[in-house]
Structure 1
Amino acid sequence: MLKYQRQAHIDSYYVASTPDIPTLPALDGSASCDVCVVGGGLAGLSVALNLAERGYSVILLEGSRLAHAASGRNGGQVINGYACDMDTLAGAVGEDAARAMWDMSLEAIDIMEDRIARHQIACDWQRGHALAAVKPAKFAELAAWQDEAAKRFDYHHYTLWDKAELRSHLDSPRYSGGLYDARGGHIHPLKYALGLARAAQAAGARLYENTPVERIEQGERPRVHTAAGVVDCGQLVLAANVSMGDLVAGLGRKIMPVGTYCITTEPLGEARAKALINPNFAVADTQFVLDYYRLTADHRLLFGGKVSYSGLPPPRLAEAMRSDMLRVFPQLADVRIEHAWGGFVDITMNRAPHWGRLTPNCYFCQGFSGHGVAITGLAGRLVAEAIAGQNERLDLFEKISHLPFPGGKLLRTPSLVLGMAWYRMKDFL
C-alpha cells in the first residue's frame, strides 16, 4: 500500500491546462474543529463543502496538494451507476435498496452539475457518454441493459446505436454498436476539484496542504497528529483512499491501488476533433481492460486505458498508449502525443463503494473503483447527512459486505497480476 506522504502535482495535461493552481499553507500548531477531514481529493473536498454549508467548523488536511492523485488525474468521465453491476448491490442490500442506490447515482450527477452552476466552476462540463461494444455479444448485452434499466429502474435516457449509427457519431471501425447516455458526460477533473476547494473555503472550511497525518487517536474527541501540529475534533472523516496506508487498521486491506494511464494529443483543430466524436461525448468500451476517451475543450483527444496491479507503469508509456489509441482511431497516425501520465485508483474486491463508520464519531469513504468523478459528491452528501443525524442513506451502503484482498501484503499484488492476465486473455479472445 502507498504511504501517505507529500507529492507534488505530476506533469499532466490537467496541470498544464490549469493556470494558477493555488498553494495552501501547511498546518502549524494546534487547532480545534467540529469535523476534521483527512484527504483533499474529490471525496474529502465534497465532505468539507457539505459540512461547511451546514454550519460545521471544518478542517481538511491534505498530505500533498489538493487533488494531486486520482481526483486530478482521471479521465474526467461522469457515469451513472457504480463500478459494480446493480445485481451485486441488490444481492447485498435487497432490490428496493438497490433501486434507491441507482437513483442516488443519478443524484450524484445532479450534485455535480449544481455545484458547477452555483459556484461558477469553469471545468468544461459537457453532457453525453457512450458505452461502445467491441464485439457483437457485448452489443447484445448493452441492448439488454437498456431494456433492464427502463423496466427495473425507470431509466429512459439511453439510446441504442447500432454499428452504422455509432459510426456516424464516433469515427472508429472498432465497434459493433453502442449505448448513449444523455445524462452522463465529462469534465476537467482538476479544475472541478479546485472549484470545490474554493467553494469550501468560501463556506468557512479551513484547508491545509502538505500536511501528512502521522497518527490518529480515537476516542470521545479524536486527535489527528501531524508533524507540526494536532487537530482536536468532534468527528473525523477519512477520505485519503489509497494514500491512507496503514494509518487506520483494517481500512487499507479492503482496497487495492490499481494504476491507470492517459495521454493527450496535440490540438487537432475543431473540425478534425468533431470528425472523431460528434456531439462531444465521452466514450468507454466494454472490455474488462477498457479504453476510455473524450475530447478536451481545446480540441485534443484525451485517451486512457491499460491497468497495472503491480504498481509499475507500462514501459515507454506514451508509445504504448499511442498504439492503443491507433487501434481505435487509425486516422490519427500523424498526430503527436504531448502528455502522458498515470496514477492509482482505489478498487474494492466487489467494485462496490466502501463507505461507513469505524466508530460512532469516525467516518470513511473509499473504494470508488474508477467511478469517483460523480459519486464522490454523493459520498460527501451522505457522510454529512450522517454527521447531522440523518443516517438512513449511509446505512444502506454500510450493509454491503467488503472482503479484504487475499494474500496479505506479500502475495496480494502477485495474485492480482495473475488474475488480470486472465482477464486480458479473455478480452483478446
Structure 2
Amino acid sequence: MNKHTDSFYAHSVPNMPDYPQLQDNIECDVCVVGAGFSGLSSALHLAEKGFKVVVLESAKVGFGATGRNGGQIVNSYSRDVDVIESRYDQNQAKALCDMIFEGGDIIRGLIDKYDINCDYKQGGLFTALNSKQLKGLEEHKKNWERYGNDQLTLLDAGEVEQAVGTKVYTGGLLDMRGGHIHPLKLALGEAAAFTSLGGQVFEQSAVVSIDKGINPVVKTAQGSVKSKYVVLAGNAYLGGLAPNISNKAIPCGTQVVATQPLSDEQLKQVLTSDYCVEDCNYLLDYFRLTADKRLLFGGGVVYGARDPENIEALIRPKMEKVFPQLKGIKIDYTWTGNFLLTYSRMPQFGSFADNIYYLQGYSGHGVTCTHLAGKLLAETLTGHAERFDAFAALKHYSFPGGRHFQIPFTAMGAAYYNLRDKLAI
C-alpha cells in the first residue's frame, strides 16, 4: 500500500480519510487520473457543472507534490510576464498573462465556498539578495500592476528585516494577493467537496493501461472505468502511462524541512509578519511558519528526482544562513517531493485522441496554476476552450541531450545560473 511520505503535513492531519480501492467495472462522464491539485481541481469544477466524475489515485489523495510542497500561493507561472511577452505573439501573451492571478483567486474561492480549513494566511514576500535582483522586483511590480494586481508594495532592506527577521536581503516585494496554506489539508478539503457533489475517489488504484476509442476505458489491476473523456493529471508521478507527453518533461525533487515549534522568544525574531517568503535566486530558497509555529524551509533541486541521503545536511546551512538565531535548532521532519519541469518552464496542457486531455509541467509553480488548469479543463468540456487553447498552443520542447543526457545537461545549466546569482551578474 502506498502511504504518504513521512512529512510534517502527513503527521499534522489526524484521522486521514481513506477512500476505497476500485474493484469493479464502472462508467462515468470523465475519468481523472491523479488526485493531486490538477486532478482535484478538474474533478471539482466538472462536478459543479453536472458531470459524473471518477478520480483514480495510485496512492493517497495529495500523495505527490500536492501534499509535499512549500504551501505557498505564488501568482503567475514559472516564466513571468516579461518572458511571456517577449516570447509569444501579442494576442497569446495577453491571453496567458490575463490569467496569472486567477489560480490564487480560485483557491480562496474554494476555501470560502466549501469551508476548507487549511491554515490559510495572506501575504507573500519575494526577497532580493542584491541590487540586480531588487531592480528585477521593481520591474516585476510594474508588470503585475499592468495586469491588475494593486496589492503590491516594494520594501527596503529595513522593512524586510522587520517582516522576516534577517539582515541577508537588500529589499523585497510584498504581494498581498499571495499567501500560504497547508497544501495537504487543502487537497483533502477539495476531495471532500468533490465527493459531496456525488463524485467518486478511488485510492490505491493505479492505472495500468488506457484503451483509446470513442469511449476510452481506463484499467486498474482490479477494475476499470469507461468514460467519455479522460484527464491525465499525474504530473511527475504519471510514469510510463503516456510516454508521448512524459518524454517532454523531467521529474525533479525539492527538499523541505520543518523545525520543532518555535518558542515565543524565537517568534519575536523570526517571521513576525507570518508571510511566506521566497528569494529571487534561480535555485531559490522558500520558507514560512506553519500553524503550530514551526519554520518550514525548503530549497534546492535534484534533477531526476533522486532522494538525497541527508536532506537536513542540504537544507540546514541555507536555513541558518538566513536565520543564524536558529542555529542548532532541532529539525523534526525532513522530506522530498517531485515536481515536473518543462524545457520552456511553461505548463503543458493539451489533448490527444480527441477525448484524452493532459495537464502537467508546472515547473515549481503548481499550487496556483493547477487550480487554474482544472477550471480551464472544465470550461473546455462545456464548449469554451479558448482559454485552455492559449496554453495548448504552446510548443512542448524536449530537453537537449536525449534520454541519457537531458538530466546532466539541465543540472549543468542550473549550476551556471546559480553561479550568476552568487556573482550578482
- State whether TM-score is above 0.5: yes
Superposition pairs of residues 237-276 of structure 1, within 5 angstroms: 237-270=231-264, 272-276=266-270
Cα distance in 2 for residues equivalent to 1:404 and 1:237? 22
Matched residue of 2:228: which SS?
strand
Superposition pairs of residues 266-345 of structure 1, within 5 angstroms: 266-270=260-264, 272-345=266-339
Cα distance in 2 for residues equivalent to 1:357 and 1:112? 25
Of stretches 275-284 and 406-415 in structure 1, the one that deviates more from structure 2 is 406-415
Matched residue of 2:161: which SS?
helix
Cα distance in 2 for residues equivalent to 1:84 and 1:160? 21
Distance 1:383 1:93, change over 3 A: farther
Q: Which residue of 2 aligns with 1:194?
A: 188
Query: Alignment RMSD, CA only?
Result: 1.5
Matched residue of 1:182: which SS?
strand
Q: Which residue of 1 aligns with 2:154?
A: 160
Residue of structure 2 aligned with 1:385, choices 369, 379, 384? 379
Matched residue of 1:59: which SS?
strand
Of stretches 6-15 and 305-314 in structure 1, the one that deviates more from structure 2 is 305-314
Shift of 1:93: 4.5
Shift of 1:271: 5.0
Cα distance in 2 for residues equivalent to 1:271 and 1:198? 38
Distance 1:29 1:356, change over 3 A: same
Shift of 1:383: 0.2
Give per-residue Cα distances to partners, 1:221-259, cap 9 Å, x unaligned: 111111111111101110001111221231101111111
Shift of 1:421: 2.4
**2:83 maps to 1:111:** no
Of stretches 310-319 and 287-296 in structure 1, the one that deviates more from structure 2 is 310-319
Q: Which residue of 2 aligns with 1:213?
A: 207
- Where do 4+ consecutive residues of structure 1 move more than 6 Å? none
Distance 1:148 1:90, change over 3 A: closer
Q: With structure 2 as the length reference, what TM-score do the two structures score?
A: 0.96
Contact kept, 8 Å, 1:260 with 1:304, in 2: the verdict is yes
Matched residue of 2:123: which SS?
strand
Shift of 1:92: 5.2
Residue of structure 2 aligned with 1:23, choices 18, 40, 57? 18
Cα distance in 2 for residues equivalent to 1:364 and 1:313? 26
Letter in 2 for 1:419: G
Distance 1:314 1:168, change over 3 A: same
Residue of structure 1 aligned with 2:65, choices 60, 70, 77? 70
Matched residue of 2:76: which SS?
coil
Identity, % of aligned positions? 40
Residue of structure 1 aligned with 2:31, choices 31, 36, 44? 36
Cα distance in 1 for residues equivalent to 2:269 and 2:235? 38
Shift of 1:90: 2.9
Superposition pairs of residues 165-184 of structure 1, within 5 angstroms: 165-184=159-178
**2:85 maps to 1:124:** no
**2:354 maps to 1:360:** yes
Cα distance in 2 for residues equivalent to 1:363 and 1:95? 26
Shift of 1:377: 1.1
Contact kept, 8 Å, 2:82 with 2:143, in 1: the verdict is no
Contact kept, 8 Å, 1:30 with 1:231, in 2: the verdict is yes
Contact kept, 8 Å, 2:256 with 2:297, in 1: the verdict is yes
Matched residue of 1:251: which SS?
helix
Cα distance in 1 for residues equivalent to 2:348 and 2:10? 29
Contact kept, 8 Å, 1:273 with 1:301, in 2: the verdict is no
Contact kept, 8 Å, 2:95 with 2:390, in 1: the verdict is no
Cα distance in 1 for residues equivalent to 2:291 and 2:263? 11
Contact kept, 8 Å, 2:38 with 2:359, in 1: the verdict is yes
Letter in 1 for 2:195: Q
Q: Which residue of 2 aligns with 1:397?
A: 391
Shift of 1:212: 0.8
Aligned residues: 423
Shift of 1:91: 4.5
Contact kept, 8 Å, 1:29 with 1:228, in 2: the verdict is yes
Distance 1:264 1:164, change over 3 A: same
Shift of 1:392: 0.9
Letter in 2 for 1:233: S
Contact kept, 8 Å, 2:240 with 2:246, in 1: the verdict is yes
Contact kept, 8 Å, 1:292 with 1:304, in 2: the verdict is yes
Matched residue of 2:101: which SS?
helix
Cα distance in 1 for residues equivalent to 2:264 and 2:353? 53
Letter in 2 for 1:105: I
Q: Which residue of 2 aligns with 1:148?
A: 143
Letter in 2 for 1:153: Y
Of stretches 200-209 and 92-101 in structure 1, the one that deviates more from structure 2 is 92-101
Letter in 1 for 2:349: W
Cα distance in 2 for residues equivalent to 1:102 and 1:274? 38
Distance 1:381 1:270, change over 3 A: farther
Give per-residue Cα distances to partners, 1:11-70, cap 9 Å, x unaligned: 110011111111111110211111000011011011111111111111110011111110
